Structure 1
């Protein structure tokens, strides 16, 4: 059985920034490692951009646990090159994969960076990832990244991304620089995605220097990680509803990754049955259809290995909207076993196979055929 992995990551080598980034930006805001010399344990280095840590709430306690837990260093090394990525895919039985950044999203969306620095890093990454995937463009399908620090620049970023040959953009679900995705400042961005036939993948992450749900309440890895994916995915969908994006640009396909899928039935039921009918006159112009209609027509969602309630997800949005993403090589999704995908799910093997093969082709067409 072929597996199309819709969430696979690179590990960005440090050298790429000096090579692909504007030299003036690199001199002012270099990405580099800092080593902690205070601990008796050999801690992993901390990523910095200039004088600022790239990750928020990445404290000594987390670093110590990272150093002591079982490592996936071999997988992370493989993810640093296109050839290594292909080797890892062969080991996992993966035919094709969507390729996403790891650290670049934390740099580009960092709330302490000037917009021109954020933009330069986004464009440098996009140049590099195209080279990364050259080793086999039929198997490695890259997602471009955009800088949202200055929303007025988004439309021209999309135009450049389309000219470079990308078909997919990855963005974080939370507000950036105080603007959520449904605000009017993003309308030109959505219009450009529609115009250039660019699809959108939401991919959250823990420890962003930004306005992620939970960061104003918690500092522990456990609580931050609990909030940063599934909760942000729900609110991102709500933001698109609020901004009338689905009605204005129904051709854009949205993908929700690494948040699981079991939240979908609960959220759609609540929006349809509690929120939508409460004050019909307040929503009828913006949302002539129930929220579930837009999810079913515009959105795809990735499921987790062993996740419950997938049968109910299918009841709400259909079996054609399920995707699978391994999150390779990140440590919160270690020990990926392709056999578990067909033996430990709340769906039939036929529907799982559809999610692994047919649905990505439907999402991307020729790119995944």
Structure 2
């Protein structure tokens, strides 16, 4: 990649509803069909329609989103035609490339929108979860074939049964891919640091796989940040991304995954970066020295050193304290991701003076936009 070209490290596609029936093995699709349903004018739900501003995905008879209320469905249309255009552009590889050209983006790592909620849904069994992950990955391959140099796929792996994850990873490696994405939350009661994941993490490190942890609000799993206290979109969304990412790093650190796999590459996406200085300071200066004998096997150096060795993070345009972040983890571990085409980031764009938007000098801005992604995403 040319050093002056921008790579978007967190760009999403929108899965057309047809892909599930066309790409998921029929016995699994028939058992747990994914359908698009809509509210009627009185707010009653569900009934079937092809499309609607208030449509909702279901898997069998379960909504794929937890607490996706009628009011929230209506609110999702607040952004109007601008958002609709962006969502439509994200449905195919060719139109995605056009959207990138419109934004001055040369290449992008491509992440799912709905798939993570389907594959990680609490109501489905492991075999079905794997079938949906594999169906999505096969469709994603066609999507990114629109231009393999510009669209970099992030494959999805089911976490329902950790004993299957190495085999899933091997299937992805056969495609020639070296990038995967996982949810940061506990899935089926297991955190990312659970001992049953041990061989999987070893394989990721052995094969130089970049693992992007990317959460999202409304996941249907019981142990999700904010879910036990809040039921509004505003409050749940405030918790879901940054808090789950911080705890995901913590579970990998505390369980010794990072100690045992020194080459493991972890991306922490869509959670911002300004929390990093205070979080690592606390881990280094309060938690680490308190009871050394309790952590001596799994945490043998300062938590911040593990973070700097293993982790890359995406920033938010204009967020505060970025100079402190650079001082803490180094400029080479910071990435840019647009979150296109999702509405919570629609107000951010790359128009205008970029280093002023990033609140950084020109050199640091260019490093973040053009260089760091190559090291993490293996292209």
TM-score of the alignment, normalized to the shorter chain, above 0.5? yes
> Pick from 10, 25, 31: which aligns with 1:7?
10
Report the Cα offset of residue 340 of structure 1.
Answer: 5.6
Matched, 1:317 2:329: yes
Matched, 1:307 2:310: no
- Residues 71-117 of structure 1: CA distance to partner in whole angstroms, max 9, x if unpaired? 40111111000001100000000011000000000000101111111
Whether the 8 Å contact between 1:10 and 1:99 is mirrored in structure 2 is yes
For 1:132-151, list aligned pairs within 5 A. 132-151=143-162
Report the Cα offset of residue 43 of structure 1.
Answer: 4.5
> Pick from 151, 158, 175: which aligns with 2:186?
175
Structure 2 partner of 1:55: 65
Whether the 8 Å contact between 1:301 and 1:322 is mirrored in structure 2 is yes
Report the Cα offset of residue 38 of structure 1.
Answer: 4.2
For 1:241-256, list aligned pairs within 5 A. 241-256=253-268
Matched, 1:216 2:224: no
Structure 1 partner of 2:26: 23
CA distance in 1, matches of 2:294, 2:30: 52
Report the Cα offset of residue 343 of structure 1.
Answer: 1.6
Whether the 8 Å contact between 2:314 and 2:335 is mirrored in structure 1 is yes
Gap regions ≥5 residues in structure 1: none
CA distance in 2, matches of 1:40, 1:248: 52
CA distance in 2, matches of 1:343, 1:99: 27
Structure 1 partner of 2:141: 130
CA distance in 2, matches of 1:138, 1:7: 16
> Pick from 111, 117, 123: which aligns with 1:106?
117
> Pick from 250, 266, 290: which aligns with 1:238?
250
CA distance in 2, matches of 1:260, 1:106: 21
> Pick from 280, 284, 306: which aligns with 2:292?
280
Report the Cα offset of residue 183 of structure 1.
Answer: 1.2
CA distance in 2, matches of 1:183, 1:67: 40
Matched, 1:347 2:360: yes
Structure 2 partner of 1:184: 195
CA distance in 1, matches of 2:41, 2:197: 45
What root-mean-square deviation, in Å, do the aligned CA atoms of Structure 1 and Structure 2 show?
A: 1.4
Gap regions ≥5 residues in structure 2: 45-51
Describe the SS at the equivalent of 2:42: coil
> Pick from 243, 254, 278: which aligns with 1:266?
278
Report the Cα offset of residue 70 of structure 1.
Answer: 3.2
Aligned length in residues: 366
CA distance in 1, matches of 2:353, 2:201: 37
- Residues 197-239 of structure 1: CA distance to partner in whole angstroms, max 9, x if unpaired? 2110010100000121111111100110001000011100000
Whether the 8 Å contact between 2:32 and 2:124 is mirrored in structure 1 is no
TM-score with structure 2 setting the length: 0.94
